[in-house]
């Protein structure tokens, strides 16, 4: 477990469907869940892509954009006006019906929820905060969809006739962000809709904003380097505190542990040279020091504004995440 004083507990994911459903019901009285349940040939999104639509027309998530998504939004809002009832299904040929170049076929499903469903939705909203999870799904007698959480061995047991498994949530990459200054704040916002679970660490409680994205957990730590002990293997470490000595202490500890997928330090080539010299003097091996990423961000993106730096670093972190997932897939 992580140490430190947690100021905000939630750890979110890219799109938490059940949380969004509950928020919509509480705000507007109802919500529609649009899911791609099957795809054939080329399609803009994979089966399992979802979006949550509110009666007002606002929505979260995506099933692929373009004409496909626009039509689905129209049908979802129509269904919301009709009210809670059986799930609606439609098979769409993307070329003939939507004039989309993908040329494949998709099946979407629209479910309507209202206040009567809040209690049933709550356990799924809790589950998705922990990452990816499985659900056993089946059609109910009234045409609606029934779901139950699949725990442990239930994930591998044979399903009853007519039932199927769905996956919700997303596997987010663990990321420790040290520093709640201007760039740290900008980076947290840049990562808000991306598949990262952010542990945002600073020794100054007053440095944090009053509110943070749901995928960020705020931690005030008297000794920030100690937070690395609880970070999982393969985590991404980003260092941008208010203090160069503290930066060095965190970087040195992260490199010493030698188990993280990325150790990035904000700063110039001059700062890197100074840190490299100090790391050498402290006895770090050259191959370990070489793993330090500094400056951080995608080369070629120019600009020192916090939002520009944040966009560049977020893109680099996505590249690192993708490479790590590819290596994991090849090793299986």
**CATH number of the domain bearing residue 262:** 3.40.50.720
| Residue 1, in any domain of the structure | no
| Residue 108, in any domain of the structure | yes
φ and ψ at residue 107, rounded to 5 degrees: -120, 125
In this structure, the answer to whether residues 30 and 107 fall within a common structural domain is yes
Length, in residues, of the chain: 332
Per-residue pLDDT of the chain (332 residues; tens, 9 = 90+): 334 443 332 333 347 899 999 999 999 999 999 999 988 887 788 888 899 999 999 999 888 878 888 999 999 999 999 999 999 999 887 766 666 666 678 888 999 999 999 999 999 998 887 778 888 899 998 999 999 998 655 456 678 888 888 888 777 899 999 999 999 999 999 999 898 999 999 999 999 999 998 889 999 999 999 999 999 999 999 999 999 999 999 999 999 999 999 999 999 999 999 999 999 999 999 999 999 999 999 999 988 999 999 999 999 999 999 887 666 545 54
Tokens 């440095």, located at residue: 207
Task: State both tokens at 307.
Answer: 């939002």
pLDDT given at position 85: 95
In this structure, the answer to whether residues 51 and 153 fall within a common structural domain is yes
Alpha-carbon gap, residue 128 to 293, rounded angstroms: 32
Task: State both tokens at 160.
Answer: 């009853």
Q: Are residues 240 and 310 in contact, defined by beta-carbon separation less than 8 angstroms?
A: no
> Which residue among 168, 187, 203 closes a domain?
168
- CA neighbours closer than 13 Å in the CB half-sphere of residue 314: 22
Residue-number span of the structural domain to which 71 is assigned = 17-168
Strand, helix or coil at 275? helix
In this structure, the answer to whether residues 209 and 280 fall within a common structural domain is yes
In this structure, the answer to whether residues 319 and 216 fall within a common structural domain is yes
Beta bridge partners of 133: 168
Query: Under 8 Å CB-to-CB from 54, ≥6 apart: which residues?
Result: 24, 27, 28, 30, 31, 32, 80
pLDDT given at position 156: 61
In this structure, the answer to whether residues 137 and 214 fall within a common structural domain is no
Helices (H), the chain: 17-28, 66-82, 94-98, 118-128, 182-190, 244-257, 269-281, 286-289, 306-331
pLDDT given at position 2: 39
In this structure, the answer to whether residues 86 and 150 fall within a common structural domain is yes
> Which residue among 151, 168, 185 closes a domain?
168
Task: State both tokens at 180.
Answer: 């709640």
In this structure, the answer to whether residues 49 and 133 fall within a common structural domain is yes
| Residue 284, in any domain of the structure | yes
In this structure, the answer to whether residues 120 and 234 fall within a common structural domain is no
Using the CB atoms, write b or e for 152-169: b if 16+ within 10 Å.
eeeeeeeeeeeeeebebb
> Which residue among 138, 168, 198 closes a domain?
168
| Residue 325, in any domain of the structure | yes
pLDDT given at position 166: 86
φ and ψ at residue 156, rounded to 5 degrees: -110, -5
Domain count, the chain: 2
| Residue 155, in any domain of the structure | yes
Helices (H), 110-262: 118-128, 182-190, 244-257
In this structure, the answer to whether residues 103 and 229 fall within a common structural domain is no
Q: Are residues 178 and 168 in contact, defined by beta-carbon separation less than 8 angstroms?
A: no
φ and ψ at residue 266, rounded to 5 degrees: -70, 140
Q: Given the DSSP bridges, would you call strands 50-53 and 30-40 parallel, antiparallel or unpaired?
A: antiparallel
From residue 133, alpha-carbon distances to 121, 126, 151, 170 in Å are 14, 11, 9, 8
pLDDT given at position 152: 57
| Residue 7, in any domain of the structure | no
Q: Is the pTM of this model over 0.85?
A: no
| Residue 137, in any domain of the structure | yes
In this structure, the answer to whether residues 254 and 156 fall within a common structural domain is no
In this structure, the answer to whether residues 229 and 285 fall within a common structural domain is yes
| Residue 178, in any domain of the structure | yes
In this structure, the answer to whether residues 325 and 244 fall within a common structural domain is yes
Q: Are residues 234 and 324 in contact, defined by beta-carbon separation less than 8 angstroms?
A: yes
């Amino acid at each position: 477990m992580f140490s430190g004083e947690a100021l905000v507990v939630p750890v979110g994911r890219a799109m938490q469907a059940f949380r969004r459903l509950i928020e919509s019901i509480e705000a507007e009285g109802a919500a529609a869940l649009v899911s791609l349940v099957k795809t054939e040939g080329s399609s803009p999104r994979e089966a399992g892509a979802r979006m949550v639509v509110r009666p007002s027309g606002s929505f979260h998530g995506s099933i692929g954009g373009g004409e496909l998504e626009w039509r689905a939004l129209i049908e979802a809002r129509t269904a919301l006006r009709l009210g809670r009832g059986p799930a609606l299904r439609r098979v769409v040929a993307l070329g003939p019906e939507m004039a989309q170049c993908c040329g494949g076929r998709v099946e979407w499903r629209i479910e309507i929820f209202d206040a009567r469903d809040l209690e049933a939705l709550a356990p799924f909203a809790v589950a998705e905060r922990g990452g990816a999870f499985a659900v056993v799904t089946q059609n109910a007698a009234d045409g609606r969809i029934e779901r139950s959480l699949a725990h442990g061995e239930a994930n591998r047991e044979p399903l009853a006739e007519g039932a199927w498994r769905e996956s919700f949530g997303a596997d987010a990459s663990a990321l420790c962000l040290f520093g709640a200054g201007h760039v740290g704040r900008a980076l947290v916002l840049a990562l808000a809709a991306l598949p990262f679970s952010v542990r945002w660490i600073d020794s100054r409680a007053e440095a944090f904003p009053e509110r943070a994205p749901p995928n960020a957990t705020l931690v005030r730590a008297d000794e920030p380097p100690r937070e690395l002990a609880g970070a999982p293997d393969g985590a991404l470490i980003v260092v941008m505190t208010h203090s160069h000595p503290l930066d060095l202490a965190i970087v040195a500890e992260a490199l010493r542990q030698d188990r993280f997928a990325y150790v990035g330090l904000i700063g110039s080539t001059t700062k890197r040279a100074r840190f490299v010299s100090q790391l050498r003097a402290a006895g770090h091996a050259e191959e370990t020091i070489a793993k330090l990423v500094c400056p951080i961000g995608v080369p070629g993106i120019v600009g020192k504004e916090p939002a520009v730096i944040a966009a560049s670093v977020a893109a680099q972190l996505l590249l690192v995440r993708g490479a790590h997932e590819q290596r994991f897939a090849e090793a299986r």
